[in-house]
Structure 1
Amino acid sequence: MPSLIVVFSLFSLLLYMFGIFINVQKIEENQCSMTYMYEYPKFLKIDLVENKHSPAYGLYAYSEGLQAQKMRNMEFRGAPVLFIPGNGGSYKQVRSLASVALRKATEKHGQIDFFTDNRRLG
């Protein structure tokens, strides 16, 4: 009986060591890449009558570069995209997605207008 316990303990130890070896050898390289801003991002708060009834929410327009002037003049002529951040998220999280999408739309001679929601907590 004691020899069976020793064999089982050694087998368990070898199995544990093999698991550690596999995990150390199979570490994958981080394949995430950072999204960089091409131009300085601008956010414009859009005042709506509905916001007076729900002051905890706010609607913002996002743009960058030369398109920011059109945004300040409230000239929205592109396809509207509404980004709603997750629970506890910030309206500023739209930057990575919008920066790349605006660049792609410009390459294809299209226009996109990004809007985002801000839920003020507290």
Structure 2
Amino acid sequence: MTKNEWEQDLEQRELEKKAYNRGYRAGANIEGVTEALKRVELLEKALLEFVGYEDEWLQTKSDLMRENKADLVTQIIYQRQLMRELYNYLDDDVRLKLRTKVESHIWPVTHRED
């Protein structure tokens, strides 16, 4: 192998290495995008479950049974975050009424509406 062939071979290997790294980084970026899209989908699902006034938006029992435990836990956490955020947008008097109503359902004996 001559010096010129050796340099060309080395240059070719460097180009292949760079191409491999570009492909690896692109694959890693796609994986990150996939995770972000999955999170957005779960947030959309949580929003539709929360404000879903039409039955077609609500998940059925069979749909929920198909999900794995980790996805269900994540969905519940997103629903809680969404409810907290929406609750924080309410006026103080509306918050108090809502809180009283929820507490009356949880502790019906101690809280009575007048």
Give the alignment's TM-score, normalised by structure 1.
Answer: 0.27
Q: Which has a greater percent of strand?
A: 1
Higher relative contact order (CA 8 A, sep 6+): 1
Q: Which has a greater percent of helix?
A: 2
